[in-house]
Amino acid sequence: MPHAKLPRKSTNIDMTAMCDVAFLLLSFFMLATKFKPDEPVVVVTPSSISQITLPDVDIMMITVDPKGRIFFSIDNKLKRKDLIEDINSEKKLGLTPDEINSFALGSSIGVPLNQLKSFLGAPPDQQKQLISAAPGIPADTNAFAPNNELAAWVNSARNTNNRLRICIKADGDASFPNVQKIIKTFEGEKIFKFNLITNLKAIPSGTAAYDDAHAGEKKS
């Protein structure tokens, strides 16, 4: 019986195709990626079954950390500039153009108005440290109280961009009175519709919402 000779195969593989795939995927991820926005503080939001996704633009975000400090931010750089100019002229803060630029490029604000000038004057890497030690924006259950600076921010932001969606992103451990201050301030500003940022959790079975969500499946 003749012995069949197996041809010895080379262990070298042509890597070109693999390289192509790798870089194709790489370019996809580079284009699709949107870096996580700078968060002033670590906030763990509670979960809900709500499946509405947050839109990308026109967001006013009010962040509350577990200690109850309030941070304020809006998304659009141009609008941020309008906003700070509005606040500057209204509250007579005397900000320099450099400080206004620093606000437009920065992220969240968590200092009272009287500390705003020194905060914005600080270099960006120092601002990050200042944010972690910031006292938060003063708020009150009365939207018209003079020390309710949150109301001033919200009001100016809505003047510069009336399509803003108003979101509260609060930590689950933040105490209710701190959140209530914000809700009451909104009420004073005639904002009755706003969003609470939550994580997604599964709908518990055997409830009305569960039946609703699965109504289509049963029929088909």
Partner 1 sequence: MAELDTSSSGGHKKGPGVKKSKKLSTRIDLTPMVDLGFLLITFFIYTTTMAKPKTMEINMPYNDKNLTIEEKNKVKKSAALTVLLSRNHRVYYYEGIGDDPEHAPDIQVTTFSSTKGIRDEIIAKKKKVDGLKKTGELGEKDETTILIKADTTSTYSDLVNILDEMNINDIKVYAIVDISDLEQGWIKATEDANPGKK
If one asks whether residue 11 binds partner 1 (CB under 8 A), the answer comes out as no
If one asks whether residue 105 binds partner 1 (CB under 8 A), the answer comes out as no
Residues 6+ apart with CB under 8 A from 196: 48, 167, 168, 169, 170
Question: Is residue 47 within a helix (H) or strand (E), and if so which, with residue range?
Answer: strand 47-48
Cβ 134 vs Cβ 113: under 8 Å: no
Among 132, 107, 123, CA closest to 38: 107
What's the CA dihedral at 176, 179, 180, 183 to 10 degrees? -150
If one asks whether residue 32 binds partner 1 (CB under 8 A), the answer comes out as yes
- C-alpha span between 112 and 147 (Å, rounded): 9
If one asks whether residue 51 binds partner 1 (CB under 8 A), the answer comes out as yes
If one asks whether residue 142 binds partner 1 (CB under 8 A), the answer comes out as no
**Residues near partner 1 (CB under 8 A), total:** 58
- C-alpha span between 63 and 60 (Å, rounded): 10
- Tell me which of 10, 208, 217, 220 binds partner 1, using CB under 8 A: 208
If one asks whether residue 42 binds partner 1 (CB under 8 A), the answer comes out as no
Question: Is residue 21 within a helix (H) or strand (E), and if so which, with residue range?
Answer: helix 16-32
If one asks whether residue 53 binds partner 1 (CB under 8 A), the answer comes out as yes
- Tell me which of 1, 4, 42, 52 binds partner 1, using CB under 8 A: 52
- Tell me which of 101, 142, 155, 198 binds partner 1, using CB under 8 A: 198
If one asks whether residue 162 binds partner 1 (CB under 8 A), the answer comes out as no
Shortest CB 126 distance to partner 1, Å: 25
Residue 33 exposed, middle or buried by CB count within 10 Å (0-12, 13-18, 19+): exposed
- Tell me which of 6, 7, 8, 35 binds partner 1, using CB under 8 A: 35
Cβ 108 vs Cβ 102: under 8 Å: no
If one asks whether residue 57 binds partner 1 (CB under 8 A), the answer comes out as no
Compare residues 49 and 130 and give the one whose CB is closer to partner 1: 49
If one asks whether residue 212 binds partner 1 (CB under 8 A), the answer comes out as yes
Residue 91 has a CB neighbour count (10 Å cut-off) of 15
State the residues that interact with partner 1 by CB under 8 A.
15-16, 18-19, 22-23, 25-26, 29-30, 32-36, 45-54, 64, 167, 169-180, 183, 186-187, 192-200, 203-204, 207-210, 212
